[in-house]
Every structure is written in C-alpha cells, then in structure tokens.
Chain A
Amino acid sequence: MKYKGWLLPPALRDFHEGRIWLKNHTPFHEDDIKRAIERNYFYIKEGIQTIPQIKCNRCQNEEPQQFTHFECSKCQKTCVYCRHCLNMGRISCCTTLLIWRGPQTYKQKQHQFEWAGQFTPLQQQASDEMLESVKRQRNHLVHAVCGAGKTEILFQSVHYALEKGLRVCIATPRTDVVLELFPRFQAVFPKTNIHALYGGAPKQEGYARLVMATTHQLYRFQHAFDLIIVDEADAFPYTFDQTLQTAVQKAKKPESPIIFVTATPSQKLLQQHKRSGYSFIPKRYHNHPLPVPRYSSLWRYENSLNKGKIPLKLQRWIEDRLTRQEPFLIFLPKVALMDIVTPLFQIIHPDILAVHAEDTDRKEKVLKLRNEEIPGLLTTTILERGITIKNVQVAVVGAESSIFTASALIQIAGRVGRNQAYADGDVVFFHHGITVEMDEARATIERSNKEGFPR
C-alpha cells in the first residue's frame, strides 16, 4: 500500500516561520505549500488591501502615488500593485501573502559564546544597563560616541536573549554595516546559525535564531523577533522613510523591546528614551578625547574650483598630508562637484581617487586607502560612517552645504583618531560661511569630551 500522508518538510517551516512571503515566490514545491495551507499552517493575507484605504500588506506603504492601476491579464479586471517594494517581487491585488502559524522550530538554548575582550568601565555599565532593559522588556537607547566600541556592548544582551531561546534581529539601514557586523557576530557565536539579509544576499539554509538584516529586509518579516536592535538608527534612509520604521515595529512581536544604538540620536529618539532605558558613553574605548573640528574659511571655493584652481589653503592641507604620509578623506557635498575637482586633485598626486554611492568599486577603493596604496580619497557622505582607517585625516569641503547636517558632520569627524596608536588627528571644515549645523556638531563633540573628561 502506498503511503498517502504528508509530512511537513522542516525546511519549509524553518524558512516561513516569522516571514510574510509572497505565495508565488516561495522557494518550496507548490504541492507542499498546498498541503500546508490545507492543514491551516498558513495565515493567508491579501497582497494589497483597499479598505479603508489602499495599503501594501508587505511594506505597509500607503502613499497613493506609489500604487499603479492596470488592466490585469491574470485576474481579468483592473488590478493595482505597489511600486514601493517592487524589487522584492511585485505585490498586486491578485497575489497573496503567506504568514506561518504552524508548528514552531525547536528552541535551541545552547549557544557557544566566544568573546574574551575587555570592557572599559563605561562600556561595562552600558552593557549592563542594556541587559537590564532586555530583561525588563523595555526599549533602550545606547548613545555612544564614534569609536566607543558599540558593537561589543551588544554581545552580552544578544547572548542572554539567545540562551532564553528568543529570536534576535540586528537591523541597520546600511548594507555595509550588515556586511561588517556579520563576521564579527559569527566569530562570537560560532555554533549559532546566523543569517545576513540584504538586497542580493545569497540563499541561507535553516532557521536563524540571530538575523542581521538591512531595515529594508524587515518588510518581509511579521511578528518574528523577540528582540530587535537597530544599529545606526539615525542613518539615511531610516529616519527619512516612514515605512522602514513601521517595518521594524511589524517585524517584532508586539510586546518585544527595541534597542537603538547610535552616535548621533535625534532629539525625538533622545526624548523617548531619556527617562527609561538610556546609556551614554561620552568617550572612546582608548580613553582619548574626540578630535574637535576646526573651521577654515574657503570663500567662493566653488568659483575657483570651477575655474580649475584649487584654493591655496586646501592645496596646502593636502600637500601637508602627503609630506607627512597621512592618509586622508576629503568629503564633498555633490557628485557633480566631485567630478569636476577629481582631475585637479590628481595633478597634486595622480593616485588620489574618488568614490560615490553608485561606484561599484567602492569597497576596493576604501581598501586601497586602508592598505596605504593610495594617499587619499575624495568622497560624498557615503563614507560618513562605518569605516575605520588608521591615522586618517579628514577635510570637509563646503561644510556649509545643507547635506552636511550636524549628525553627518559628527559622524565624519568620528572617522579620525579611532586607533589607539593614533588617537588624535586633524578634522577641518573648509567653508563658505559657518552654519548652525557646523556649530551644533562642534558643540556636541565638545560636550561629549567635557562629560568624558571632567576637570
């Protein structure tokens, strides 16, 4: 006799648990999905809801401009789809989303923890405070200056949560940050299945107790996590795109806490957390003050650059770096300006390179600077955070431009002096007029130094 029953493939459960996934994009066999639906293992939700108002049930987009109506050959009527999350597979009114509600994966509670690093007293305190918040299930903000050693502070709380059998997500707006954090966490939790999710990430097997993801990827989760840590919570586009913030809320279980980690929290974030879970680390792990930016006027720099001349002060600054053999980053406000000035800088030194957001060689160029193969790099704000280069010196040209907000400037200044052996360095804001943002950035850095090193 032939066996006619059906056994739930574990891979199907492992994949779908916690996810909200397009039915026609599931990687599993149609027949298995059908059987699972028959057993009521899936909650099925329409892709686009139209009542009371139009909304994409995956990315939570409600902006009418982001929806397109068309005559659909599949459902034979006027259909509508969401353009906001199109890249993840189109959601239209004739598609459905699957949400797992079947049996759950076995909760693995043994997690090897391999970290032998040393905390500074301030790191220890922040780590303990965060753990306390996790235990009490309340939100927490870790406000730590650039180079304070934020990542290490997370280990204790993540370990605690994993041993409790909880599912943890570390989310960040930037793919670069996911790529940097993933190997560090895998080293600390060598036996834990960790997934790194970002646009274009390879397929990863099994059920991940720890997920590192870009905030975009959280569109694809629903009530999945018992703890979410949002790293670099103030980075573009997270603060800018409301749907990403909604995505974080949707991806966690309703009662689960969120931990925000950043060097430059917004006023809103500060106000929300100052009275509850809040840790502040005003100084760097190596116990040296933050380099304070200095101002240098560069009147009508744009005119002279457009005429093919590098202003004398800027030229001197670069020549200084070259003779002292210090690697440098020069931040520029616009790609268009960068295109004009790159050849000018290359007259001073032919190996100076330029990098911007759409540059496919971004990683290689940064690596070249780190390996001292090139003397310096011209960049847009894309390198404002996440990169560490030994003894790097920084100049912002056109610091008065609106793109250089106080938090961007603080992050940029935070690139300097991160290494114990080179704890100081030059941060110069070349400007055509001083802005409030510049003053705010400098005042914030000075305030942190005052708190970190009281007289």
Chain B
Amino acid sequence: MNKNETHCLLCTQPLQLITSWKALLTKQFPPSICEKCLARFERNTSHESTSLYRYNEAMKDFLHQYKFLQDVALAKVFRQELHTHLKHEKATIIPIPMHPEKQKERTFSHMDELLKSAKIPYIQLLEKTTTETQSSKNREERLQTPPLFRLLPDIRVEYKEYLLFDDIQTTGTTLQHATQLLLGAGAENVRIFTLISG
C-alpha cells in the first residue's frame, strides 16, 4: 500500500507528476488521482461544517468502487485532505466500527483504512451490535432502532473529548447512537466528523 501511483486510481490515465517546492518541503502525499477526477468531487466550503465533501455523482461512484467493489487502494484518494484537516485535532479520534462479520465479508474496515492511509492515529472503543445497515431502513425505522453499538470489553472511556468519524451522514442515527453511548460512559464531550454530508 505504500508505493506511489503512476496512474490515476479512478480513471487509470497516467499521472502527470509535477514536483513543486511546496510538495517537496511540506511533505505532502504524492497524488493518487488526476486533476480531472479530483475536480469532480465537491468540497464542502461552508465554515463550521463537520464534513469535507458533498454527496454527488462522483462520490457515489467512489463509494461504490471503494466499498462495494472492495477497492481498498481508494483509501488513498482523500488522504491529503483528511490529513490536513485532522493533523492538529486534539480530540481522540474514533472511527465508526463495522460489525466483525461484515468486516470479514468486506475484508477491510473502510473507515479505518481512510485514517490509516492519511496517517492519522485513532483508537477504537466501540463495537457494532447489528449487521443491519441504516440505508436499508426508512426514517421511522431509523429513529426507533435498538442500540447499534456497545462498548468493547475491558476498555475505559475517559473524561475527555472524542471525535467520531464516519463516511457519510444522512439522518445522523448512527452517529447519535455512538455519541449517546460515549457520553453515558463518561466522555466529557463528543464531536462528529464525516467525509461526506448526505
């Protein structure tokens, strides 16, 4: 996973590698996708936002290839942006976990991989209790879901700030369940952050 890309991970066109002083001195990640593909993603520019991108056609294709076709290599696509956004984060980062069975099926945890390739440290305190997905339910059903998470055995939730990280937020049920659980277990504060806003 640590070789440099010679071709765009999304459109397979050869990458034009431009070495700039900035890239050399600031230790940026080498590009993994081409300018054209990058431009198709829509940045979330509003100020106090808790997500990096807006959901659009390009993002739909990305999620399909990354999660459904299991293209782990795509974890690199947003590493620069994630790294820039999270490198000074003081809160402890917790990626939303997958159900172990689901993870075995997909062969990787897509949230963990995003953070790993962005070189952002994280810990895990939670465990998914159900293999059901939120996207298969309607709003009513989502609001009435039994607890989605429980705490991992033998861990301690400390009195400090945590940042929950998920891929996409639509109604926020998933993140809300996790937040409540952590606050109830003694966390000082819980903030949320997603790659995409739904």
Contacts and interface: CB of A to CB of B under 8 A. Distances in A.
B69 A86 contact: yes
Contact of B107 (A69, A73, A83, A86): A73
A90 B70 contact: yes
Interface in B68-84: 69-73
Contacts of B54: none
Interface in A18-68: 65, 68
B71 A86 contact: yes
A73 B104 CA distance: 5
A439 B73 CA distance: 45
A267 interface: no
Contacts of B177: none
Contact of A73 (B1, B3, B71, B103): B103
A74 B105 CA distance: 7
Given A81-B70, A83-B73, A90-B70, A71 B108 contact: yes
A71 B109 CA distance: 10
Interface residues of A, number: 18
Contacts of A65: 3, 6-7
B106 interface: yes
Contact of A68 (B1, B6, B7, B105): B1
B1 A92 contact: no
A72 interface: yes
A92 B7 contact: no
A110 B182 CA distance: 71
Interface centre among B7, B65, B71 (most CB of A within 10 A): B71
A74 B71 contact: no
Interface string B97-126: 000000111111100010000000000000
Contacts of B109: 73
Given A74-B104, A92-B107, A69 B71 contact: no
A87 B108 contact: no
A70 B69 contact: no
A90 B108 contact: no
Nearest to A89: B69
A81 B72 contact: yes
Given A65-B7, A73-B103, A92-B107, A83 B1 contact: no
A70 B72 contact: yes
B69 A73 contact: no
Contacts of B3: 65
Contacts of A374: none
Contact of B72 (A68, A74, A75, A94): A68
B106 A90 contact: no
Given A81-B70, A83-B71, 5 more contacts: A68-B72, A70-B73, A70-B108, A89-B69, A92-B107
Interface of B: 1, 3, 6-7, 65, 69-73, 103-109, 113
Interface of A: 65, 68-75, 79, 81, 83, 86-87, 89-90, 92, 94
28 contacts: A65-B6, A65-B7, A70-B1, A70-B72, A70-B107, A70-B108, A71-B108, A72-B108, A73-B104, A73-B106, A73-B107, A73-B108, A73-B109, A74-B104, A74-B105, A75-B107, A79-B107, A81-B70, A83-B71, A83-B73, A86-B65, A86-B71, A87-B69, A89-B69, A90-B69, A90-B70, A92-B107, A94-B107
